[in-house]
Each structure stands twice: as C-alpha cells, then as structure tokens.
C-alpha cells in the first residue's frame, strides 16, 4: 500500500500536526466552541463538525477487537449555531416509547431502528423494553461480503487502459495546509471518454451542472433537472451493482419493494436542506459528488469524473496527495489536495475509475447500515472504510435523515 509514512506517524501521535483548535488533543468532551475550527463535544458526530482526530482521541472503536487503524482522510465540519445544539435531548433516558417529535435530533420510539434515527443509547436504555431488533442489525462480516459482491458487479468501471494517472508528489499531513502546488502536471494524463457515453455515466454527468456551488444560494430545479434525477436513478437501478445492493437490503428487511428503495434514495440524496442562510441550498448529492464552497473553502467534491472534467476545463489545479490506495486496478482511492477555481481543498478523498453506480451504492450502503459512523468494507481483498454523516437540522418522511456527507477514510492493517 502506498501510504506516506508521516501520515501514519501523525495519526498515531494524535494528529499532532493539527492546530490547537483543529485537534481534539486535551479537548475531549469540552463544550461547543463556536470560535473553534472543529468540535470535540459528544454531539459533534451527530452534527458532523468533529475534528479529524475525534474518533482517534475521544471515541471508542466500533469493534474493540478490530486492530485496524483508520486513517481519517478528511474533515467535513459544518458550523452549527450554539442555540441549535442544545435545543433537544439526544439521549433515550426517560424517553423510551415516547412519540416522535420532529424537533428532537434522535428518537426512542418503537420504529426508530427501522428508520435508523435512534439515539445512541437506545439499545442500552430501551432494548429490554419490548422492541429490541438486534437480530436485524447488519454485521461487519455482512458488510464486507456485500461490498465485495458490489465490487465484482461493477462491470462499468474503468479498465487499466482507460485512465492514465499522474499522482506525482506524496506529502506528509503537516504540509497539507501550506496550499503549495507541488505537482506541476495535471492529475489525469489520459481518460478514455468513451466511458462517459455509458448510460449511467451520461445520466450522472447531466446532474453535475444543476447546482450552484456556493452555499447560501438556494437551489431551484427546473422540470428537466428534476427529470434528470429520475433518469439517473432509473439507469443505475438497471445495473448489477444496484441490484446487488437492493437485494441485500431487501433480505435485511430494510425495504419491502424496489420502488420504496428508489424513493428513499431520491429523498436522502437529492432532498434539499440549508447549509447556509438560504433555504434549500444543498443536498447530499451536490455536496459529495459535485462539490460546494463554504466560507472560502471547498467542501465535499469526492468524485473523480467531476474532478477530471473540471481539470480539463482548467478549473481544478491538482497540488499533491497524501494517500494512494493499494489497488492495482480500478477502482482505486486517492486522497489529495487541490485548488478549485480559487478555493482550496486541504484533503479530499475520492474513488478513481469507479462507475457512478459503484460509488452511489457504497455510500448508500454505509449511510443505511452505519449512519453517522465508520463503515468497514472490503474491496478486492483489501479493507476500506467509508464515513458518513447525517444532516440533523431537518428530516423527511417520518423523521428520516438526509445525507450530509460520505467519503472514503481508508483502512489498513
């Protein structure tokens, strides 16, 4: 595996390279600090504004017996006004069996596990009160098995000859904030654009120009743009990748029909919410795949096709990378630094050479099975992890959560 040694050292040292307000060193369980660049309070995982080393320093492992080291490759902080952080309880203490209250950030009713919006202590406090569904939980082994099946089903992925990548300089994490271009040449030397004529690629690309990248500007979709969302979902559902995912989730009793699954995907990915002052200025799809700019920084932007097309137009300048995955074929994973039309991305991870349906499937799988947590997968025999965050300031349906972000964090033995 091609990993910069300083990256591992930095992680093991508690990410000492981060500034005092960008690290959780000596800050675990502190109160929310609106002046800090990121947070270390117990609510930060729920609000998606934790410092990058929060899990490493402050949170326990999902599986204490697992010896894997997670290299969290990105911070996806979202500032949350202090008034919103403490407006509702986030514990099930004294709330078991209570009715749904949409103002609460998490729930303790009998169906919260079905909708995956239970409070973190639901099982501990309410699990013995007649509605524990631990038998329905998706295990780590099941996640690894289905991710391998999805990996093998991705027949639309790029072949070796389809992409020539020029990754150039690998830098230590201590230098990612320097905003120095250490790679004079583009990341992509060659891409076989015949890939983009495949139905799922074409439908995906049609979606990318439907968004305003600056948060705080509401998105207003035309009838054609709404139809393009439906076309994308329809095309990816024709693939073996998405059929594998649906079959697995159906067997896990997460969805009773394919239409229910598609409807939920549309809501969780394309449903609009507000990251800025404007109502409906963002969505999971826009953030993860197209990319956004907030307060002078690039957020999201985790897709190789988007990167290639923007680089080809001269709008993206590749600076360096800190992680290059172990795969000797596509899809691979790269964590990189770049400038997007004047805005800097300090660390952005992305699959390289994967089909749109492959990324969409893995991110959706992890959001459904390990919402707001690290999701341990396996691709071609190599471990890989994906981190998701929920958007907690608004919901759809019966209290279900939108996707705030999803990205690769990598996993090594």
287 catalytic, yes or no? yes
What is the rounded CA–CA span in Å between residue 245 and residue 365? 7
Exactly one of 56, 107, 157, 287 is catalytic; name it.
Answer: 287
DSSP secondary structure code for residue 249 in this structure: H
Adjacent-strand bridge partners of 69: 412
What is the rounded CA–CA span in Å between residue 410 and residue 266? 27
At 70, list the tokens. Answer: 């997670």
C-alpha distances (whole Å) from 65 to each of 36, 60, 370 are: 33, 11, 18
345 catalytic, yes or no? yes
Adjacent-strand bridge partners of 352: 332
164 three-state secondary structure? strand
Exactly one of 47, 104, 302, 401 is catalytic; name it.
Answer: 302
**Is cis: bond before 375, omega within 30 of 0?**
no
Residues 360, 295, 280, CA angle at the centre, nearest 5°? 55
What is the rounded CA–CA span in Å between residue 212 and residue 292? 8
**Is cis: bond before 134, omega within 30 of 0?**
no
What is the rounded CA–CA span in Å between residue 391 and residue 288? 13
Q: Please, are residues 180 and 194 in contact by the beta-carbon 8 Å criterion?
A: no
Exactly one of 56, 104, 345, 373 is catalytic; name it.
Answer: 345
Token pair 């072949």: residue: 159
Q: Please, are residues 168 and 4 in contact by the beta-carbon 8 Å criterion?
A: no
| Residues marked as catalytic | 287, 302, 345
């Amino acid at each position: 595996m091609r990993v910069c040694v300083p990256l591992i050292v930095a992680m093991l040292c508690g990410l000492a390279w981060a500034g005092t307000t960008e690290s959780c060193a000596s800050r675990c369980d502190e109160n929310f600090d609106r002046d800090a660049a990121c947070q270390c309070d117990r609510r930060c995982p729920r609000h998606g504004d934790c410092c990058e080393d929060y899990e490493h320093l402050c949170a326990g492992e999902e599986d204490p017996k697992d010896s894997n080291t997670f290299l969290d490759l990105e911070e996806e902080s979202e500032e949350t006004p202090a008034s919103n952080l403490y407006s509702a309880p986030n514990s099930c203490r004294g709330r078991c069996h209570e009715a749904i209250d949409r103002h609460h950030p998490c729930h303790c009713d009998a169906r919260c596990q079905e909708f995956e919006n239970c409070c973190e202590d639901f099982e501990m406090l309410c699990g013995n009160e007649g509605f524990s569904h631990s038998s329905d939980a998706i295990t780590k082994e099941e996640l690894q098995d289905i991710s391998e099946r999805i990996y093998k089903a991705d027949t639309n992925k790029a072949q070796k000859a389809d992409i020539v990548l020029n990754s150039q300089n690998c830098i230590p994490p201590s230098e990612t904030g320097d905003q120095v271009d250490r790679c004079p040449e583009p990341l992509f030397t060659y891409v076989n654009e015949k890939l983009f004529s495949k139905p799922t690629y074409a439908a995906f690309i049609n979606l990318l120009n439907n968004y305003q990248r600056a948060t705080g500007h509401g998105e207003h979709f035309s009838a054609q743009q709404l139809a393009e969302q439906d076309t994308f979902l329809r095309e990816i559902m024709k693939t073996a990748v998405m059929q594998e995912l649906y079959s697995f989730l159906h067997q896990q009793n997460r969805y009773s029909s394919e239409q229910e699954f598609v409807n939920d995907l549309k809501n969780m990915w394309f449903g609009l919410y507000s990251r800025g002052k404007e109502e409906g200025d963002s969505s999971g799809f826009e953030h993860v795949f197209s990319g956004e700019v907030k307060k002078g920084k690039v957020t999201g932007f985790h897709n190789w096709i988007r990167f290639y097309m923007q680089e080809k137009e001269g709008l993206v300048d590749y600076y360096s990378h800190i992680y290059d995955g172990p795969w000797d074929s596509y899809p691979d994973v790269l964590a990189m630094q770049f400038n997007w039309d004047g805005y800097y991305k300090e660390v952005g991870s992305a699959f390289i050479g994967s089909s749109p349906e492959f990324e969409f499937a893995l991110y959706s799988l992890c959001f459904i099975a390990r919402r707001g947590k690290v999701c341990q997968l396996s691709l071609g025999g190599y471990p890989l992890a994906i981190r998701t965050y929920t958007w907690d300031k608004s919901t759809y349906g019966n209290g279900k959560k939108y996707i705030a972000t999803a990205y690769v964090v990598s996993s090594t033995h």
